[in-house]
Amino acid sequence: MTAPGEQASERDQLEAEWQRAFAWVEERLGGRITHFERQPRWRPAFYLDVQCGDETLPVYFRGDRGSADHGVYPLEHEFRILEVLATEGIPVPKLYGFCEDPRGIVMERCPGRANLATAESKEEERAVLDDFVDILARMHALDVSKFEAVGLERPKDAHSLGLGDFGRWEHAYRSHKLRPDPMIEFTIQWVKENTPTGRQKVAFLQGDTGQFLFEKGRVTTLIDLELAYLGDPLADLAGLFTRDLSEPLGDLRHALARYGEQSGEPVDPRVVMYHGVRFGICTPMSIAHLVAKPTPELDLIQYLAWYWVYGRTPLEWIALLTDVAVDPWTPPEPRPTWHSSGHDFLAGAIDAIPAEDTFARYQKDVAARSASYLRRAEDWGPELAAEDLAEAASILGSQPAGWQEADAALEERIAQGSGDRGLHEALLTFFHRRCQRNEWLLAPVLRELTDVRFQTPDLG
């Protein structure tokens, strides 16, 4: 454990914005920060211990996304939602305030851990999943007018109910767009043309469903409500399937059945799958500009993994819903180049760099994963790019000069080809293969996203 004097020295070395943040927390809570730890992730956040008289408060400072912000909702959106949920008996962290400079939510650091894959047994996994589904059903029964009062918008008709907050995601995507992205455009077009009909119930939704802490077989708190909105409750069930890709949740068919029992509402599996496509593609939409032009502080490999995995999985559900067969792609043999040894040298040099604290180890890991990926790109990249370009040419009927020209032409073809079944099948299978190619390049560093597949609702 770091001694108090060492922590004081480390605090003095923090960036000026975090000096201001810590001073704000101490003034707000009327105490003194005795220990802090930067959370090792792409988003700025700190775990704090604040001594207030004879009591030590566990505190979490949840910072703004900064350059990685998707631009869909401001941080204040989550703060207001947490305020409402706290009055409704939904388990959420206690709020201490909103820091304006630097922007961040200051809240209780609740007991428990994230990621149900860390459950101690299958029995605990099932108990926690059931508890979360029960909370979800209670939350969906809340009076939505209380959320309208803090700025959430109620969908006006069945079409807008089906799309949910998709318009916000599309606006942010187009505002930040740096290059053609036909895979995203194809999926956006499908989402808009296939909104569910006959849906009426409007509920408060977690949005990015399945984020919670747990211990001893129970949910201790919901977390990460930054994407909450008013929409179709089945969209929250779809969110369980997307969350399950990176944090396995257990048997989601069971979760759907339990939700139906607890809510008294029928669960249409095809509507759930529609929302799985709609919400799944929001991840690539929100980060496309970042993978096109990454900022220095970005965990690029994690973002590339999210982009390709959350691009592929919605395509697989579209294939199921539209009865299109998508086959596994077979990778070629590696072909090392003159430059491959340079990548090996880089990986070794990074490995030799000392990293004394948690955040430094995180930064070192980001660099090491990047080096591993670039080594694969050196060995396989040219061949995979040629294969991709040849397949694009077969759809376009002409040979593009390069991938930029191919992607621009594919976007034009998508815009012109709505309703063409043959084109739909060709594009769907092509984009699915493109995702598989890029996942293959990332294979050694995909970690929790290695070979993941959507669970599938029972379609009867």
**What whole-number distance in Å separates Cα of residue 319 and Cα of residue 116?**
29
Q: Find the helix packing angle between 358-396 and 340-351, rounded to 10°.
A: 160
Whether 104 and 202 share a structural domain: no
Instruction: Using the 3D structure, point to which of 63, 91, 108 is the last residue of a domain.
Output: 108
Containing structural domain, residue 76: 4-108
**What whole-number distance in Å separates Cα of residue 223 and Cα of residue 203?**
18
Q: What is the CATH number of the domain that holds 66?
A: 3.30.200.20
Find the radius of gyration of the CA atoms of the chain: 23
Length of the chain: 460
Q: What is the pLDDT of residue 70?
A: 66
Whether 91 and 215 share a structural domain: no
Q: What is the pLDDT of residue 86?
A: 97
Residue 214 φ/ψ, nearest 5 degrees = -150, 155
Whether 233 and 201 share a structural domain: yes
Which residue type sits at 406? A
Whether 47 and 163 share a structural domain: no
Whether 25 and 136 share a structural domain: no
Q: What is the pLDDT of residue 460?
A: 76
- Quick check: is 332 in a domain? no
Residues of the chain falling short of pLDDT 50: 1
Whether 122 and 77 share a structural domain: no
Instruction: Using the 3D structure, point to which of 58, 81, 108 is the last residue of a domain.
Output: 108
- Quick check: is 379 in a domain? no
- Quick check: is 360 in a domain? no
**What whole-number distance in Å separates Cα of residue 394 and Cα of residue 199?**
40
Q: What is the pLDDT of residue 137?
A: 99
Q: What is the pLDDT of residue 339?
A: 86
- Quick check: is 48 in a domain? yes
- Quick check: is 338 in a domain? no
pTM of the model: 0.93
Whether 282 and 234 share a structural domain: yes
Complete DSSP assignment for 199-241: ----EEE-SS-S-EEEETTEEEEE---TT-EEE-HHHHHHHHH
372 in Cβ contact with 389 (< 8 Å): no
Q: What is the pLDDT of residue 90?
A: 98
Q: What is the pLDDT of residue 67?
A: 55
SS3 at position 457: coil
Whether 41 and 160 share a structural domain: no
- Quick check: is 291 in a domain? yes
Q: What is the pLDDT of residue 107?
A: 98
Q: What is the pLDDT of residue 3?
A: 56
Whether 129 and 263 share a structural domain: yes
Per-residue pLDDT tens digits for 223-233:
999 999 999 99
Instruction: Using the 3D structure, point to which of 108, 137, 162 is the last residue of a domain.
Output: 108
User: How many other C-beta atoms are found inside a 10 Å radius of the C-beta of residue 193?
Assistant: 9
Whether 217 and 94 share a structural domain: no
Residue 90 φ/ψ, nearest 5 degrees = -85, 135
Q: What is the CATH number of the domain that holds 293?
A: 3.90.1200.10
- Quick check: is 380 in a domain? no
Q: How many domains does the chain have?
A: 2
Whether 128 and 232 share a structural domain: yes
Degrees (nearest 5) of the Cα angle 300, 301, 302? 90
User: How many other C-beta atoms are found inside a 10 Å radius of the C-beta of residue 297?
Assistant: 12
- Quick check: is 276 in a domain? yes
Per-residue pLDDT tens digits for 135-150:
999 999 999 999 999 9
Whether 121 and 254 share a structural domain: yes
